[in-house]
Structure formats: structure tokens, C-alpha cells
Chains A and B, each alone.
Chain A
Amino acid sequence: MLAFLRDEKIRGVIYQIVAIVLFMAFLFYIAQNTSCNIERRGIKTGFAFLDATAGFDITESPISFSPASTHLKVFEVGVLNTLIVSFWGIVFSSLLGLLIGVGRLSSNWLISRLSALYIEIFRNIPVLLQILFWYNVVLATLPSVRQSIDIFGVFHINNRGLFMPSPIFGSGAWIVLAFFAAAVAISFFVKRWAHRRQDETGEQFPIVLFSLFVLILFPIVGYFVAGQPVEFDYPSLQGFNFKGGRSWTPEFMALLFALSIYTATFIAEAIRSGIEAVPKGQKEAAKSLGLSPLQELRFVVLPQAVRIAIPSIINQYLNLIKNSSLAAAIGYPELVTIFAGTSLNQTGQALEILLITMLTYLLISLVVSAILNWFNAKMKIKER
């Protein structure tokens, strides 16, 4: 009678039915309780709050914001600030990670040891602690506005932040851009020509040097042809604060430094393990073919190392974006601080706000994984 239970397929169906019933029951139970609790506590529901006036100000915002703006605007500012700090964090952590990763592999014993020391120290300390350290210890000791530290009279550092000049693009600025685009196009075509010629005749062309030269020279020429259209707005001390130029607040810098320094350790490790994963035989084969050390690196080691290192580096970028949410501890106004923090406290609609916040991060991470998948597909070894 129960013999049909021994059939694997039927059992699978039964398991799944049980699973889905349990899951639905769980969801129903939660939904029931939640609606009950929300009613009892008098919490509003729905997404109408997004159009309500926020009523608080945000210390730094890339778009115009005032207390009269809506919570939707708060969300936009939060996302933009998250992306801004993540962008700079990715730039700095990549540079620092590359430096430390290469240093770790250096044949110089001292440099290699120092890099290892850096990695072991900063990787093993919680990033939140590092953020708080930068904010409460290092940046808190900066001098007041009047006693700013000047660097070349252009950068000013004080307890209000870092002030630096910002470029102002004049009417002819597009000419510089056009020259740059032309340079990119020229290097692209020269590269194709050089490849074809090498395939046919075996003669080589110093394509990297040539492109670098063109890419630097053309914009400079364009700059003067257009009559120097780019000017700089220098920050200057007016009254109690610096005016003009652009600035980074201490909150931003603390978050940026801590995230970059922390993430750089993981990027350095990824680069090291990528290069070390290239089999020794590959390097020996390159040498026996008569490739120079630079050619060996360029044509044999790097293409294989990159394939291994890049996926984990992109994962680290994703971690950096997620870790930027720790700004909540020091009050840099990114998504979690102002939207899942201040807006949540004002409206009390925790469920909706946290759901939106989580879905935003989910979207960001989906985009990053799409990039990663595209890269993996592109980098896949083409077997003939």
C-alpha cells in the first residue's frame, strides 16, 4: 500500500509540497502577526511616506537638498553618497592593493616583509574599528580652520575636512575632449595595424609607448588650441570657513581611508595568489622561448594571473560597497545612515524602508555580478 512512497520521484514531489506548504504557512503566520502588530502600534503602511517632507537636513549632498525635500529625495542622496564613497574607495583600494600585492612578491626581502606586515595587521582588525579610529583619533586631532595645514597653498586640511581646487570647464572644453577621443581612436587603429603587420612580417611596433604618447600629447595640444578653457576654482579662507573649490568632510575621509586600507589587504592577497598560481613551467617556457622579463610578464604571466585574480578582486569591490554601510557609526550620510537611519526613525516604517534598502543593495550586487559574469565569459580560455 505504501509501496509508492519508495519511488524517488513521488517522494520528491511530496517533499516539495511539504516544503512549500510549510513556507507558505510561515509567511502567512508572519504576515498575520505583522499586520496585527502594525495596527496595534498605529504604524502607517504603504509607500506614501516617500512623498512626505523629510524635515531634516543632510550635511553633504551631491544634489540640492533641503529639509523641505521628500524622503524619496533622501533615498536618492543616500544612494548617490554610497556610490560616491564606493567609487573613490575602489580607486584607492585598487591602487594601494596593487602596490602592496606587488611589494609582497618583490625579491627585496624588506619590502616583501613590510607588505606582509601591512596585510596581516589591517586584514585582521574589524573595519568598523578602523573607521572609528580614523574618525575619533586621527581626524579629530586636526587643527581648526584658522590653523589649517596647507599643502602647496592649494590643499587645506582642518577639522572641517579637506579643501581642494575644483576644475571649471569653459566654453571650449569640448575641444579637449574631442582631441582625447581622437587620440583613443588613433591608438586603437594603430594597434590593429601593428598586430596585422606583426602577424605578416614579424616586425614589432612599440604600441604601448606610442599610445601613451598620443594619449598624453593630444589633450595637451587640444587644451592650448582651444585657448586654455579649463580653470581651477581655488578654496580660500573667508570668514570662518573655506569657500570655493570642493571639499571632503572628515566623515567621508574616515570612511574612505578605512575602507581603502582594509580592502587593499584583500586585493593585495588576490593579486599575489593570482600571480603565484601561474605554474612555474609557464615562466620557464617563456624564458626558453627567449622572451624578455617584461614580455614574459606581459604575454605569459599576467594574462593567466588576471583570470584568477580579477573575480576575487571584483568580489572585494562588492564587499567594499556593502561595508560602506558602516558609515552609520560615524554619520556619513549614505543610504543606511540617512534612509535606514534618520528616515526610518522619523516615519517609523521600518519594514518598507529596510526592504527598499536591501533591494537597492541587491540591485547593486546584481549589476556587479553581471559584470563579473561578463568578464568570466570573456576571459574564458578559448580552446582550439
Chain B
Amino acid sequence: MVYPPKETKEPPILERGAIAWIRKNLLSSPFNIFFTIVGIAVLYMILPPFIHWAFLDANWSGASKSDCTGEGACWIFVREKLNMFIFGFYPQEQLYRPKIVMGALAALLILLGTLKKFNGLKIALIALFPIFAYTLLHGGYFDMPVVESSKWGGLLLTLVIASVGITLSFPLGIVLALGRQSRLPIIKSLSLFYIEFVRAVPLITVLFMASVVLPLFFPEGVDFDKLARALIGITLFEAAYVAENIRSGFQAIPKGQYEAADAMGLGYWHKMALVILPQAIRITIPNLVGTFISLFKDTSLVMIIGLFDLLAMVTVTANDRDWLGMDTEGYVFAAFLFWIFTFSMSRYSKYLEKRLDRSKGE
């Protein structure tokens, strides 16, 4: 006798597909239903007004404030002032220069991301880029008129400060971290004092210090411009945070690594440069990216000492007599630009974290 297999039935409609998902994730209990309603209410209160303001009722075309109906956002303002937001007071006819620099920066970042090997080449590129960027932005050579750094502004200035801050605070942070780990008591306490002191004070006081007191430290005639002072302040400030990150990397390295390096007969510098640092930095890369994200956000503080970064340009343009009352559009646009940069950096650090996790498992 043969038993023919019964036809397989599909699960009941309530247990599969989208319906099951909704029942499980949104409606599983009275509480859950309540929270779903709360969530929908919050969305309803925020989303439709925002979409109306930012898209449906917004004005996109025109040339002056009178073309804006005033019901929604006036994106004409952002379009008209875009060059100010991106390049600050950089002379209009010279804009090709910052454009080349920003393009080169993007290319450099992509190149650094794709090149797996050639560490020497990478370091050379990172070291040469600031010289290239400064030559092009400041000018004075090859028939390019000089553009003083006080004219640099907007997103350009934000990027200049962020990239200089990152590239300079990194090596300084390594030195400080090494000093802090050192067995030599004087070097250790000097580094420790520096790191703890800087981490305890707000960046704004360090920037004030750099902009007001720093010139007093040097003999007459030695003068830094405002931008250089801000860069010095930010670099010295962030280096302490980088040092703390790298120290946490040091702590995660098993003692055996130190002992193995000692057993191989490596001296201090060889041990650190070839065995400990590469591992410590690798472990702490996600934290480092976190520090660099806050550095990027912190660049906005330079407006308080009178530099015209992206945020300051919003304030300046919103005070333009032809465009009064455009603060909202300006701030939303600036927030959007900042957000794109910081969010992509944080995604990148998540990705690195995952990759590190995987390589640990192997």
C-alpha cells in the first residue's frame, strides 16, 4: 500500500509575509499597539509639515527674495549664495583653484581607500597634498594672484581645518601616547599632564588661547594669521584625544607581543614601530574615526574667533539686507552638508569595525 504524501499547505495568511511581520513587530501586544500609534502620531506631526515646507511649498526658481512666496522654504537663497557657502569670500574669478583642490581631495580619499598596499606611497601622498593645496589656494606662483587665507571660507575652510587638523594631530597624538606609556617618569608625567589638562578644558578656551595669547609667546615680528592660530589650537587640542585613543589600543595588545618583541632583540623604537603601533592603531581605528568626526564637528567653533567657516557663512549671508529672514534655510542647508560628511564617516567606522571583527575570527 502506498501512502501518497499530502499536499503541503502554505502557512495561514496571518503567519506569513508582510502581515506576519506587521503583527510581530508592530502589533504583538496592547502595549505594542499603543507604541505603534504613538510612533505614527509622531511621524504625522513631523513629516507632512516638513515635506510641505522643504519640497511641496518650497520655491526653487527665481533670482531674488521677491520670487519666494513665503509658504515654504526659499531654496533660491541657497542657490544664489551657494558659492559663498562653499568657498566663502574667495574671489569669484579664481574659484577654479579651490575646485581643483576639493576635487583632488576627493580623489586622494578614494585612492587611499582603494590602495591596499604601498604604505610609503600613501604617506608621501598625504604629506605632499597640503603643500599642493596650499600652493594652489594661496597662490603667488605661476601667474596666480595671492588669495589671503582671510578670504578662504565656507565649506572650503571647514575642509581645510578638518584635514590639516586630522593629519597633524595624528602623529602628535602618537608621540603623546608613546610618552604616556613610557617607563621614564619625567616623560610620562609631562605627557600625562598635557593629555589630561587638554581633555579637561573646552576647545573654545584653547582657541581663545591660540588666538589671543599665542602671539605673546613669540618675539616681535613672528606673526601667525588667524587661520594658522586656529589650526594650531585645534591640532594641539585633538592630539590629546588621539593620544587617548591610541593608548586604549596599546592596552588591548597582549603582553606577549611586547615580550616577543623583546625576545627578538628589538630595541624600543623598533619594537614600537614594527610590532606594537601597527596593531594598536589597527585596533583603535573605529575610535580614531570617532575622534575625527568630533574634530570635524568642532571645526564650526572657529566662527567664535572670527573665521568664516560654513556655519559662519550662514550667519553672514542671512544678515544680507536683500535676504533677511533666511536663517532657517541657511541653517538647514549647513546642517545637511555637515551631516553628510559626519554620517558617512560614522558609516565608514562601522564598516571598519565589522571588518576588524571578522579578521579577529580568522
Contact = CB atoms under 8 A, between A and B. Distances in A.
B342 A124 contact: yes
A1 to B, nearest CB: 21
Nearest to A17: B186
B272 interface: no
8 contacts: A109-B26, A110-B35, A129-B338, A132-B311, A322-B201, A340-B205, A357-B205, A365-B201
Contacts, number: 148
Interface of A: 12, 15-16, 19-20, 23, 30, 33-34, 36-38, 40, 106-111, 114, 120-121, 124-129, 132-133, 136-137, 140, 322-323, 325-326, 328-329, 336, 340, 344, 350-351, 354, 357-358, 361-362, 364-366
Interface string B316-341: 00100000000110010011001100
Contacts of B303: 128, 329
Contacts of B197: 358, 362
B140 interface: no
B311 A126 contact: yes
A34 B197 CA distance: 21
Interface stretch (B56-64, B82-90, B92-100, B215-223): B215-223
Contact of B200 (A23, A38, A336, A366): A366
Given A114-B42, A322-B201, A125 B339 contact: yes
B146 interface: no
Interface in B1-52: 25-26, 28, 32, 35-36, 38-40, 42-43
B183 interface: yes
A110 B209 contact: no
Q: Is the interface of A mostly helix, strand, loop or mixed?
A: helix
Contacts of B208: 336, 340, 344, 350, 354
A354 B305 CA distance: 14
Interface in B189-209: 190, 197, 199-205, 208-209
Given A114-B42, A114-B43, A108 B190 contact: no
B320 to A, nearest CB: 14
Contacts of B107: none
Contacts of A326: 202, 204, 301, 304
B335 A33 contact: no
B200 A108 contact: no
B279 interface: no
A354 B209 CA distance: 7
Given A16-B186, A125-B338, A362 B212 contact: no
Given A33-B218, A358-B201, A362-B201, A108 B32 contact: yes
A328 B213 CA distance: 18
A128 B40 contact: no
A37 B32 contact: no
Contacts of A19: 184, 186-187, 190
Interface string B324-362: 000110010011001100110010000000000000000
A328 B304 contact: yes
A357 B318 CA distance: 32
Contact of A108 (B25, B201, B331, B334): B25
A108 B301 contact: no
A137 B330 CA distance: 10
Contacts of B297: 124-127
Contacts of B301: 128, 326
Nearest to A357: B205
A140 B331 CA distance: 14
B212 A350 contact: yes
A124 B338 contact: yes
B212 A354 contact: yes
A282 B209 CA distance: 51
Given A110-B26, A110-B39, A110-B40, 4 more contacts: A19-B184, A323-B202, A344-B212, A366-B200
